[in-house]
Amino acid sequence: MDFNENNATEAVLNSFSKIKDERLKKIMSSIIRNLHQVVKEVEPTEEEWIKAIMFLTKTGQKCDDRRQEFILLSDVLGVSMLLDSINNRKSKNETETTVLGPFHTTSPMIENGTNIANFVKGENCVVSGIITDNNNIPIPGASLEVWQSGPDGLYDVQKEDRVVDLRATLLSLDDGSYLFRTVKPQYYPIPVDGPVGDLLKNLDRHPYRPAHIHFMVKAKGFKDLITHVFIDGDKYLESDTVFAVKQSLIRKLEKNIDENKQEYFKLNFDIIMEKN
């Protein structure tokens, strides 16, 4: 029988029905069923199909060792956070996870208390907290990688000189506590100079993420934790372009005055790790 719109899905599923890798079979079967369903539902013209192929082609062409446009696409389509929700279900009170984002890179080790804003100027901010397990027992020696953009909305790696700034690695102290100084983070747009930016424009969507600081926390006997702390009151908390806000990760900035009568913000972010 000829391949036609009634038997198309079955014909393709049958073509690999004998493969031994059950996981691959499940994945490919689902992709074929759903992709065929999209085509049947939308009935794209051949021109539209080529447009879709060209979009994916440009997405690939935008990728290099620094830029991953496919992950950005997965982020803005909510796929990254859907995957996060499925893979990081929490059983107790552990700190929730969120997207890694494209700007993580290795960072210099610092002592607790150090200012990580080496060059960027902004409103001073002291970030601190305690790392514990889910029974409130402090975890000393946990490694915390932190990174953020500056008030200009840029990460150090997005700048011409790529000089390390606003990122560091520190270890929690004997009582599980950590503290670093920085500048207040600001909301910023994700990179929009590629096909994902064009897509957002065509979908009439803004490209902004609410202000946040990224954390990657690792401790022996615990699952690695990738998360952010978000700043209460940010105007993009309800419409993060990558859908990565979780209410449990939002914290208030408290205004304070230091011993030199300088104003600064205090940001408390305790972290509860999940056992392996």
DSSP string, 120-161: ----EEEEEEEEE-TTS-B-TT-EEEEE---TTS--GGGSSS
| Phi-psi map region of 136: left, alpha, beta (phi>0 left; psi -120 to 50 alpha) | left
Among 99, 117, 120, 271, binds ligand BEZ (CB under 6 A): 99
DSSP state of 92: S
DSSP state of 179: E
Closest CA to 94 of 50, 139, 60, 57: 139
Take residue 117 and report the two structure tokens written for it: 């804003």
Task: State which residue, 80 or 132, has the beta carbon closest to ligand BEZ.
Answer: 80
Among 62, 103, 168, 253, binds ligand BEZ (CB under 6 A): 103
102 binds ligand BEZ (CB under 6 A): yes
Phi, psi torsion values for 193, nearest 5 degrees: -90, 25
From 28-36, 100-108, 112-120, 237-245, span contacting Fe ion (CB under 5 A)? 100-108
Report how many residues bind Fe ion under the rule CB under 5 A: 1
210 binds Fe ion (CB under 5 A): no
Task: Assess contact for 206 and 185: CB atoms under 8 A.
Answer: no
For the chain, what is the largest distance between any 2 Cα atoms, rounded to a whole number of angstroms?
85
Among 196, 209, 217, 230, binds ligand BEZ (CB under 6 A): 209
Task: Assess contact for 81 and 242: CB atoms under 8 A.
Answer: yes
Residue 271 and residue 257: Cα distance in Å, rounded? 25
180 binds ligand BEZ (CB under 6 A): no
Task: State which residue, 209 or 222, has the beta carbon closest to ligand BEZ.
Answer: 209
Among 72, 74, 81, 101, binds Fe ion (CB under 5 A): 101
Task: State which residue, 101 or 197, has the beta carbon closest to Fe ion.
Answer: 101
242 binds ligand BEZ (CB under 6 A): yes
150 binds ligand BEZ (CB under 6 A): no
Write the single-letter amino acid at 266: K
Report how many residues bind ligand BEZ under the rule CB under 6 A: 9
102 binds Fe ion (CB under 5 A): no
245 binds ligand BEZ (CB under 6 A): no
Q: Which residues bind Fe ion (CB under 5 A)?
A: 101
Q: Which residues bind ligand BEZ (CB under 6 A)?
A: 72, 75, 99, 101-103, 190, 209, 242
